[in-house]
Amino acid sequence: MLGQSVKEEDIMKPVYTFPLSETTSLTIDAGPDDAPRKEFHPLPYPLFNLHTHDIDKSWKAAIEKGLSFASDLTEFDDFAFFTLYDPDENQVMICSG
């Protein structure tokens, strides 16, 4: 979805960080192996958004990748967004503006 390649040898459990730009990254943390198992419930709204400089290009790329959408592309004068689902059914908002 992010166009990031992942090298398994770079993964240092339980945390993996994707560099997104010079100053921004996305860290995924699985927690310690001995932590109690938590019940998972996706929320009905996105907890964060990812910025794009070209919303139309991002929309088309998501369609081409066959991603599942939670909302259509919505456009205003100075802001546009759409929401899609990640593989765990969490909603992720892609926005411009």
Q: What angle do CA 59, 63, 66 make, to 5 degrees?
A: 145
The whole-number mean pLDDT for each consecutive block of 10 residues of the chain, a chain of 97 residues, reads 71 78 82 81 91 95 95 96 93 93
- Identity (one letter) of the amino acid at 28? I
Which sign, positive or negative, has the C-alpha torsion 78, 72, 93, 44? positive
User: Which residues have CB under 8 Å from 42's CB, separation 6+?
Assistant: 88, 89, 90, 91
- Bridge partners of 19, per DSSP, are 25
| pLDDT attached to residue 53 | 92
pLDDT in the model for residue 1: 62
The pLDDT score that the predictor gives to residue 97 is 78
Would you say the pTM of this structure is higher than 0.85? Answer: no
